[in-house]
Amino acid sequence: MKITKFLLISLFIFLFNSQTSFTDEAKMIKGLEIFNETAACAGCHILKAAGSEGNIGPNLDTVEGLNYASVMDIVTHGLGVMPAFGEDEILTKDQIEIVSFYVANSAGK
Ligand code: HEC
C-alpha cells in the first residue's frame, strides 16, 4: 500500500515536471518562429540565437536590463518605428507572451 502511494506520487511529480519543461521548450520553438517569420522582429533586430541581423532597432543581445516584462511592454505598445503589435492587433496576446518569453530567454546567448 505504501509503495503504491510512493509510486503514484513519483509519477505525479514526473508528469508535472516534464509537462512544465515541455511547455517551455515548445514556447522557445514557437517563439523563434514568431520572431523570424510571423512578426518579422528579425528584420529590425540582431539576435544571435535566432540568427537575425536586422539593424533598424537595437541589438537585442546587448540591451541592458532586458527581461520578459520589458519585452512584453514594448511589443504590446511599440516605440518609435517599432510597431505596436498588441495595440494594433498584429499579434495575439498568446503570441506576444510566447515571443517575449523567447527573446527574454535567448538574448545574449
Ligand atoms: C520595423 C522595425 C522593427 C520591428 C519589426 C520590431 N522592432 Fe523592436 N525596436 C525597433 C526600434 C527602432 C526600437 C527602438 C525604439 C526606440 O528606442 O525609439 C526597438 C526596440 C525594441 C526593444 C527594446 C530595446 C531597448 O533598448 O530597450 C525590444 C525588446 C524589441 N524592440 C523587441 C522586438 C520584438 C520582440 C519584435 C517582434 C515582435 C520587434 N522588436 C519588432 C524596431 C523594430
Least confident of 11-15, 60-64, 70-74, 101-105: 11-15
How far, in Å, is the centroid of ligand 1 from the Cα of 36?
A: 13
Q: What is the pLDDT of residues 72-91, one digit of tens each?
A: 999 999 999 999 999 999 99
Q: What local confidence, expressed as pLDDT, does residue 5 receive?
A: 78
Q: Which residue's alpha carbon is nearest to atom 34 within ligand 1? A: 41
Residue pair 86/100 in contact by the 8 Å Cβ criterion: no
Residue pair 107/64 in contact by the 8 Å Cβ criterion: no
State the pLDDT confidence band at 20, using cuts at 50, 70 and 90.
low
Specify the residue for cell string 507572451. Answer: 97
b/e per residue, 55-66, with b = 16+ CB within 10 A?
Answer: eebebbeebeeb
Q: What are the grid coordinates assigned to 101, written together?
A: 518569453
Q: What local confidence, expressed as pLDDT, does residue 41 receive?
A: 98
Q: How many CB atoms lie within 10 A of CB 87?
A: 10
* Distance, CA of 20 to CA of 46 (rounded, Å): 29
Question: What average pLDDT does the segment 86-103 reach?
Answer: 97
How far, in Å, is the centroid of ligand 1 from the Cα of 27?
A: 20
Q: Which residue's alpha carbon is nearest to atom 11 within ligand 1? A: 57
Residue pair 40/52 in contact by the 8 Å Cβ criterion: no
Q: What is the pLDDT of residues 46-78, one digit of tens each?
A: 999 999 999 999 999 999 999 999 999 999 999
